[in-house]
């Protein structure tokens, strides 16, 4: 992380904003996975306490177990999905830098050839198009994780006691 931040703070054009946003999104996804995991653990612990309570009727305990099993499964899936998004975003940290470095390479080529070289101009346009695609993918993944987290926010708040 320190190496990444040192490079981000340097006068190098890469990594840049896309890489930084991918890293931030990956950290957000990791934290979301942590929240799901903690919530899942709290559910399991509360059910274990209920099982030890002799005054609870078995049908109530069974109903509570079924409800909590559903929540545990949702939290497991959510934690796994958050980790998948985190991994994809981590890959995009480097992809963003590579895509912009390709743009810079194409611009350097243009400086070496005649200014009206249509192939080089097309290559630059293609490089810019590819470089714009990476931040778009980052934004889509970050939106996905936000949407995913919103689906279970109320359930997490209830489990965590907020």
Q: With contact defined as beta carbons under 8 Å apart, do 78 and 36 qualify?
A: yes
Name the band, by pLDDT with cuts 50, 70 and 90, for residue 25. Answer: very high
pLDDT at 151 over 90: no
The dihedrals phi and psi of 5, each to the nearest 5 degrees, come to -65, -35
Does this model's pTM top 0.85? My answer is: no
Residue 76, both tokens: 């497991």
Q: What confidence tens digit (pLDDT) does each residue in 86-124 have?
A: 999 999 999 999 999 999 998 888 877 766 678 888 889
pLDDT of residue 110: 80
What percent of the chain is modeled with pLDDT above 90? 50
The full DSSP string for 80-107 is HHHHHHHHHHHHHHHHHHHHHHHHHHHH
pLDDT at 160: 60
């Amino acid at each position: 992380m320190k190496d990444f931040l040192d490079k981000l703070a340097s006068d190098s054009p890469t990594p840049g904003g896309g890489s930084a946003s991918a890293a931030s999104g990956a950290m957000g996804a990791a934290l979301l996975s942590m929240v799901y995991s903690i919530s899942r653990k709290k559910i399991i612990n509360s059910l274990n306490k209920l099982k030890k309570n002799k005054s609870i009727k078995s049908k109530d305990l069974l109903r509570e177990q079924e409800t909590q099993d559903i929540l545990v499964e949702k939290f497991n899936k959510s934690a796994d999905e958050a980790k998948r998004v985190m991994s994809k975003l981590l890959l995009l940290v480097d992809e963003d830098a590579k895509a912009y470095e390709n743009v810079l390479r194409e611009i350097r080529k243009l400086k070496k050839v005649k200014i009206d070289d249509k192939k080089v101009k097309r290559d630059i346009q293609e490089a810019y198009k590819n470089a714009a695609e990476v931040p778009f993918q980052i934004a889509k993944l970050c939106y996905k994780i936000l949407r995913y987290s919103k689906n279970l926010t109320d359930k997490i708040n209830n489990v965590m006691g907020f």
